Chains A and B, each alone.
Chain A
Amino acid sequence: MPWLNMTIFIPFLFALLVPFIYKKFTPKIHTGWFVLVVPILIFIYLLTYIPAISNGKFIHSSLPWIPSYGINFTTYIDGLSLIFGLLITGIGTLVVLYSIFYLSKHREALNNFYVYLLLFMGAMLGLVFSDNVLVLYVFWELTSISSLLLIAYWYEREKSRYGAQKSMLITIFGGLAMLAGFIMLSIITDTYSIREMFTKVDSIVSHSLFLPAMLLVLLGAFTKSAQFPFSIWLPDAMEAPTPISAYLHSATMVKAGIYLVARMTPIFGGTAEWFWIVSGIGLITLLYGSVNAVRQTDLKALLAYSTISQLGLIMSLLGIGSAAMYFGIGDESEVYTVAILAAIFHLINHSTFKGCLFMVVGIIDHETGTRDIRKLGGLMNLMPVSFTLTIIGTFAMAGLPPFNGFLSKEMFLTAVLNVSQMSVFNMESLGSLFPIVAWIASIFTFVYSMILVFKTFRGKYRPERLEKKVHEAPIGMLLPPIVLASLVIGIFFFPNILSNYLLKPAVASILPSLAMGGEIYVKKISAWHGWNTELYMTIGIVVFGTLLYIYLRKWIRIYLFYPQSMTLNNMYNSGMEKSEDLFQSITNRYMTGSIRDYLVYIFAFIIFIIGGALWLLDGISFDHSQDASISVYEGGIVISMVISAVAVLLSNSRLTSIVAVGALGLLVSFLFVLFRAPDLALTQLVVETVTTALFLLCFYHLPQLRKEISKVRFKATNAIISIGVGVVVTIFALSVNGTKLFDSISSFYENSYELAGAQNIVNAILVDFRGIDTMLEILVLAIAGIGVYTLIKLRLSGGDENEGTK
């Protein structure tokens, strides 16, 4: 197996080992130390690809999985997937390290934790490196499942289970939509390989399935990346342990949707629909997330809404950047290439500072026992390292220098300013909205960033509200956020190293049609680019944000006017409840438990389907030219049969009914005589006698109550249905009789003497020509006999007691 494919499987294989390690070494050594090796090794291995990738090469290797369907496990590394791979393993390493100090080896079920975590890591690696859409889907769902397991890690808490269920319902709904989109794409292009789809873009855009496929794929991306209005699962996923929130719900899994949008840009990009949906939803999410983050009182909820908002920002940048594909190679597209660059850049930046912030919040939670902003305050002197880390993280999030968030936020503003000048896709009228929305959202981002840092660390220290005596966290717990925070600063000062080695090839792989010879023109990222509009906008953000923060008390009440019933969560909850009630009541209405009702459905079905088919397909024909003549005997027997059948129906006593059914059977055997069927007549006679005897046996054992008198009560619906069935059967029989397509094959059996040595043709058919029927019929009789014997003889000891208690 090639090493490249192997890297994806290593986490899965190691996950198999974790329970044994846990059993053997706990409580001496924390299981996390063993797990730590996996992401480190993969991270280092992936680092070795950077030189090749930055030179514009692509590396792929393929393993056959279901070759007959063209489904291969193809691993493909380009700039985009390499960035994701490095994020997954790099932050994975730090998260595992952090979790070693965060989770107690005595109190927590660490084996579960690390198995789920490795499962997730492998799934995520598979997702970003897969070239085959169906393989990608498999890993996509694996991330949903492992995320479910991780959110519900403390499964004894009700809120965890609620959050896990919610996230699973939403992401799997999107995942299934995405699968449908992928299948449509493969129908259009006749391939499952994403790279091969790139070569067939022209046929995709003109195909009638283009728009449905695009919408379905986007549904998958938006649900996974918590875009509006599917963002509601992310705040509830905060019930997971903090290392998981940091890893899955800020740095990696929620970016799977971003990855998908970026990956699919070469296929769908350059069209007005893609541009508007992706950038529009992104901007709405950006605004929604940042406005809602301000009113949160729980630190993790604040970070969750902030993540939603930042994901919206990246998404909108990807949408804006897709316009570059419309313009093709040239100066005009370079303006939009900046947006793609900004998206990837901010993606990395966000992973660093958001991961850092989550870890710090976890530390605060760990050391104080609460994450409630209203209880916290004045921790600055007690937790100086955490305070510094928070400052770095939040200022990067707010987009202030000298942190990496500043650079990507400036590029974001450049992108929205550029796009407002665009003259295609109806942007003339609506283009000016883009910078306005972006600017307002940035102000709110600034406000909640300040809330996060100052409400937690400044103000009065109130130890009486806290459960624990506050002190700084151990160094092992602080190390991962310190690494991330130093990256935050490092990227600010040396952005072009990152840009040259990672961002450029990523941009080239998102916009392959614009990359010539694997190279794409990308401007140098610089912290200082003169007095331009972006800088004035940033200054405006700081000024207005500061004012809003200072007067927070005065206007925070506005949120109280927000109607509670209009929140997305309420709609989701009541939607779930109502649909459950609705389907329950529908099911209760038709699943009544009464045999009669079910029989009514079946008979109605017979009437409507068979009768309807006869009617619609012109099947009704009537031809009696071939009919035999009616003799007096037959006429008399038929009339007696009708009389005895009606007698069964109308009789008050069961005894009369039984006798009448017996008479009916005898009359049938008389008919068989007249129809030249001696064997049948004989059998019918015997069988009818035995059956009547059985009926009488049953009758004898009836309960004493109401033994004699029980007239069939007349019911109009029953009568209509029965007449309907009778009419349909009659019409059916007449039509069959009127349509003779070919002669019977029975003339063959007239050779029975030559072929089987029998003069009785019917018996020859039964035991010679079609002997298997007879054998199985004997089996039926035997089974029925055994069944009867068992029913009468077998009494399970517990059964009767149960009957008594019921």
Chain B
Amino acid sequence: MIDNMETLMSILVGILFAIGTYLLLTKTLLRIILGTSIIGHGVNLLIITMGGLKTGGPPFLGRKETNFTDSLPQALLLTAVVINFATTALFLVLSYRAYKEMGTDDTEQLRGMGDE
């Protein structure tokens, strides 16, 4: 087997960031949110990768293994996932309201009034 898991994950994170960035730079609101979602996945994977992968068993005591994977990044990630979910939900509903009020999802047309 090839011993390059972290390297592979770093490249995957880079690809997710690149695709997420490209989506953020498009005009459609929905795609922008999809972009943030993909970047969110990239960040989560980055955090868990940086903690070192598969260095032991799952972080449960009372099992035969005495060697565990790093538990701290997992706790951090759990928080991050929930917060990410909360903000995504708010953002989605916000864009849904924007569609309703403005009748468009094109950010170029959501540029405010001329007298600004």
A interface list, Cβ under 8 A from B = 593-596, 599-600, 603, 624, 626-631, 634-635, 638, 641-642, 645-646, 648-649, 654, 657-658, 661, 664-665, 668, 671-672, 674-680, 683-684, 687, 690-691, 694-695, 697-699, 701-703, 710, 712-713, 715, 718-719, 721-723, 725-727, 729-730, 733-734, 736-737, 744-746, 749-750, 752-753, 758-762, 765-766, 770, 773-774, 777, 780-781, 783-785, 787-788, 791-792, 803, 806
In the complex, the answer to whether A734 meets B60 with C-beta atoms within 8 Å is no
Residues in B with CB closer than 8 Å to A702 are 30, 99, 105
Closest A residue to B107 by CB, please name it.
Answer: A595
Mark interface residues in B7-27 (1 if CB within 8 Å of A CB, else 0).
111111111111111111111
Q: Nearest chain A CB to B6's CB is how many angstroms away?
A: 5
22 of the cross-chain contacts (CB-CB < 8 Å) are A596-B25, A626-B6, A629-B54, A630-B8, A631-B1, A649-B23, A661-B38, A676-B57, A680-B77, A683-B81, A687-B84, A694-B88, A712-B22, A721-B25, A722-B22, A726-B19, A729-B46, A730-B14, A734-B7, A737-B6, A737-B49, A777-B83
In the complex, the answer to whether B27 meets A596 with C-beta atoms within 8 Å is yes
Bound together, the chains give a CA A777 to CA B86 distance in angstroms of 9
Closest B residue to A639 by CB, please name it.
Answer: B12
In the complex, the answer to whether B57 meets A730 with C-beta atoms within 8 Å is no
In the complex, the answer to whether A630 meets B111 with C-beta atoms within 8 Å is no
Q: A641-B12, A753-B61 are in contact. Are A671 and B100 (CB under 8 A)?
A: no
B interface list, Cβ under 8 A from A = 1-28, 30-34, 37-38, 41-42, 44-46, 48-62, 68-72, 74-75, 77-79, 81-90, 92-97, 99-105, 107-108, 111-113, 116
What are the 9 A-B residue pairs with the smallest beta carbon separation, nearest first?
A726-B18, A730-B14, A784-B86, A733-B10, A761-B59, A765-B75, A722-B22, A722-B21, A628-B5
Q: A703-B104, A762-B59, A791-B93 are in contact. Are A750 and B18 (CB under 8 A)?
A: no
In the complex, the answer to whether A759 meets B60 with C-beta atoms within 8 Å is yes
Q: A638-B8, A677-B48, A744-B52 are in contact. Are A687 and B82 (CB under 8 A)?
A: yes
Bound together, the chains give a CA A695 to CA B85 distance in angstroms of 12
Q: A691-B89, A721-B25 are in contact. Are A624 and B54 (CB under 8 A)?
A: no
In the complex, the answer to whether B89 meets A770 with C-beta atoms within 8 Å is no
Residues in B with CB closer than 8 Å to A627 are 3-7, 53
Q: Nearest chain B CB to A181's CB is how many angstroms away?
A: 41
Q: Nearest chain A CB to B114's CB is how many angstroms away?
A: 10
In the complex, the answer to whether A765 meets B49 with C-beta atoms within 8 Å is no
Residues in B with CB closer than 8 Å to A694 are 88-89, 92-93
Q: A642-B12, A766-B79, A791-B97 are in contact. List 6 more A-B contacts (CB 8 A).
A: A646-B19, A658-B34, A661-B34, A690-B89, A698-B95, A746-B71
Q: Nearest chain B CB to A656's CB is how many angstroms away?
A: 11
| Contact among A595, A630, A721, A733 with B49 in the assembled complex (CB-CB below 8 Å) | A733
In the complex, the answer to whether B3 meets A629 with C-beta atoms within 8 Å is yes
Residues in A with CB closer than 8 Å to B20 are 722
Q: Name the prevailing secondary structure of the A interface residues.
A: helix
Bound together, the chains give a CA A313 to CA B18 distance in angstroms of 70
| Contact among B17, B21, B46, B58 with A677 in the assembled complex (CB-CB below 8 Å) | B58
Bound together, the chains give a CA A131 to CA B69 distance in angstroms of 69
In the complex, the answer to whether A649 meets B19 with C-beta atoms within 8 Å is yes
In the complex, the answer to whether B13 meets A729 with C-beta atoms within 8 Å is yes
Residues in A with CB closer than 8 Å to B60 are 759-761
Residues in B with CB closer than 8 Å to A674 are 54
Instruction: Name the residue in B11, B22, B26, B97 with the highest tally of chain A Cβ atoms < 10 Å from its Cβ.
Output: B22
Bound together, the chains give a CA A788 to CA B92 distance in angstroms of 9
Closest A residue to B37 by CB, please name it.
Answer: A661
Q: Nearest chain A CB to B13's CB is how many angstroms away?
A: 6
Residues in A with CB closer than 8 Å to B101 are 803
In the complex, the answer to whether A628 meets B3 with C-beta atoms within 8 Å is yes
Instruction: Name the residue in B49, B70, B100 with the highest tally of chain A Cβ atoms < 10 Å from its Cβ.
Output: B70
In the complex, the answer to whether B34 meets A657 with C-beta atoms within 8 Å is yes
In the complex, the answer to whether B22 meets A718 with C-beta atoms within 8 Å is yes
Bound together, the chains give a CA A727 to CA B14 distance in angstroms of 6
Bound together, the chains give a CA A803 to CA B13 distance in angstroms of 42
Q: Nearest chain B CB to A477's CB is how many angstroms away?
A: 51
Q: Nearest chain B CB to A599's CB is how many angstroms away?
A: 6
Q: Nearest chain B CB to A783's CB is how many angstroms away?
A: 8
In the complex, the answer to whether B38 meets A628 with C-beta atoms within 8 Å is no
Residues in B with CB closer than 8 Å to A701 are 96, 99-100
Residues in A with CB closer than 8 Å to B11 are 730
| Contact among A676, A761, A762, A766 with B54 in the assembled complex (CB-CB below 8 Å) | A676
In the complex, the answer to whether A648 meets B38 with C-beta atoms within 8 Å is yes
Residues in A with CB closer than 8 Å to B78 are 679-680, 683, 762, 766
